[in-house]
Amino acid sequence: MDTVFDVERIRKDFPVLSRELPGGRPLVYLDSGNSSQKPFQVIETMREHLAVHYANVGRAMHVLGAESTEAYESAREKVAAFVGAPSRDEIVFTKNASEALNLVAYAFGNPINEDPRFTMGPGDEIVISEMEHHSNIVPWQLLARRTGATLRWFSVTDEGRLDLSDLDELVTERTKIVSIAHQSNVLGTVNPVARVLERVRQVGALMMLDASQSVPHKAVDVAALDVDFLAFTGHKAVGPSGIGVLWARAELLEAMPPFLGGGEMIEAVWMDRSTYAPAPHKFEAGTPPIVEAVGLGAAVDYLSSVGMDAIAAHERELTRYALEALGEVPGLRVVGPTDLEDRGGTVSFTLDGIHPHDVGQILDDEFGVAVRVGHHCARPLHLRFGIPATTRASFYLYNTPAEIDALVRGLHHVRKVFA
């Protein structure tokens, strides 16, 4: 992208960024890792679909039904292109990344799935990591309990990197699936997918990526990554909530059993049995989140028009600036990599002797700075670092260095209150 990245122009696309908070404070939104704000292009596309194109999809034999179906399916095509999927039929719409992860976990050890890649029982192993979001932990715990398989995990180094020292002992012929975050939602760490995948292929296992924190922020190409499954969610990528995505290789989707049963996922139904529609519809039972899917289509259009490489470069500069500025705050400790190598724009930290809830409250209330405080749905990672919670600032295309200055000013004030 040779175009100049004009953050002020981008900010004008996001109506919420120009609103005032009670008391006349400006909004400093540093919580995009939690959920991003929406540009008017997305809001307008969704409004217009609801206003003049809305009908159910895939079944209505009238103009609106055709327009709605066309919009829904073209959103699928946009998403496929956005993540480099070879076919739009490899894009399954879910309600969020959690559902996408659960859908895949459900395919294993399932009596109606006889494909050997998906059989699972005692002696088989599932490998995740200590830095996962709960949504990439709990579905696998449930799977292990259902099937008697063993759940194992990579540990995390003191620097917040995936510890690959025991890669060969952890990923073995017993491993059926390895599922890890592409980018940590707490540490910002970008994981070395290729190295893990090489071992996964050696042992004949499958690999899934939770890409909720990477797809919104940089160019992600599933063909280049060469993994088997990838999940992400719309609301972190300037799209609406209620829509998520599972990408999987076509042959795997074909082998996998349906997840939810219902309308639109069938081919033919008798009273005692059914046959199923081909993927992706096999996994989209019931009326889908139509307007949300259309909104996600507009979101990836928007991101593409700005340019994913330009967004990544902008966030990299913000992260560099933030790591430097935060380093000057006494008593502040960054949890995660303090260099820019394989790292995204999410910075979590602790402040000596001050609980993150108190940090977050004062930042919000006095400075209009919105950060996330707590364990960020990654409790095991916090346990590993021996801390109950962190304060997390996460950046996106619309953030500015001045907003990081506001965060730092706020942190100095927090320290004064609790001195």
CA–CA distances in Å: residue 80 to residues 13, 90, 155, 372: 24, 8, 33, 31
Interface residue with another protein among 314, 343, 382, 415 (CB under 8 A) is 382
| Cβ-based neighbours of 67, under 8 Å, separated by 6 or more | 53, 55
According to the binding rule CB under 8 A, does residue 374 interact with another protein? Answer: yes
> How many residues lie near another protein (CB under 8 A)?
20
β-pairing, 206-210 vs 229-233, is parallel
According to the binding rule CB under 8 A, does residue 389 interact with another protein? Answer: yes
According to the binding rule CB under 8 A, does residue 417 interact with another protein? Answer: yes
Considering the complex, what minimum distance in angstroms separates the CB of residue 279 from another protein? 37
Considering the complex, what minimum distance in angstroms separates the CB of residue 334 from another protein? 20
Considering the complex, what minimum distance in angstroms separates the CB of residue 352 from another protein? 13
In one-letter notation, the amino acid at residue 357 is H
| Cβ-based neighbours of 305, under 8 Å, separated by 6 or more | none
Nearer to another protein, 282 or 372 (CB): 372
CA–CA distances in Å: residue 381 to residues 52, 165, 390: 47, 18, 11
Nearer to another protein, 9 or 357 (CB): 357
- Pattern 342-371, another protein, x by CB under 8 A: ------------xxxxx--xx-xxx-----
Nearer to another protein, 117 or 133 (CB): 133
Nearer to another protein, 24 or 123 (CB): 24
C-beta contacts of 300-306 below 8 A and 24+ residues apart: 300/78, 300/79, 300/81, 300/82, 300/237, 300/239, 301/41, 301/78, 302/13, 302/39, 302/41, 302/42, 302/238, 303/82, 303/216, 303/237, 303/238, 303/397, 304/82, 306/5, 306/10, 306/397
Considering the complex, what minimum distance in angstroms separates the CB of residue 388 from another protein? 5
Nearer to another protein, 93 or 385 (CB): 385
Q: Which stretch binds another protein (CB under 8 A): 56-64, 68-76, 132-140, 374-382?
A: 374-382
| Cβ-based neighbours of 123, under 8 Å, separated by 6 or more | 149, 150, 174
Q: Enter the tokens of residue 228.
A: 């088997």
Considering the complex, what minimum distance in angstroms separates the CB of residue 365 from another protein? 3
Q: Which of residues 4-33 bind another protein (CB under 8 A)?
A: 23
Judge whether 242 counts as a catalytic residue: no
Q: Check the CA dihedral 47-48-53-58 and report its sign.
A: negative
β-pairing, 206-210 vs 175-181, is parallel
Nearer to another protein, 307 or 380 (CB): 380
- Pattern 203-222, another protein, x by CB under 8 A: --------------------
Interface residue with another protein among 379, 380, 384, 405 (CB under 8 A) is 379
> 10 Å Cβ neighbour count for 355?
15
According to the binding rule CB under 8 A, does residue 418 interact with another protein? Answer: yes
Considering the complex, what minimum distance in angstroms separates the CB of residue 23 from another protein? 6
Considering the complex, what minimum distance in angstroms separates the CB of residue 373 from another protein? 8
Nearer to another protein, 116 or 353 (CB): 353
Query: HEC states along 271-317?
Result: CCCEEECCCCHHHCCCCCCHHHHHHHHHHHHHHHHHCHHHHHHHHHH
Catalytic residue among 92, 193, 222, 377: 377
Task: Give catalytic residues, as residue numbers.
Answer: 377
Q: Which residues bind another protein (CB under 8 A)?
A: 23, 354-358, 361-362, 364-366, 373-375, 379, 382, 388-389, 417-418
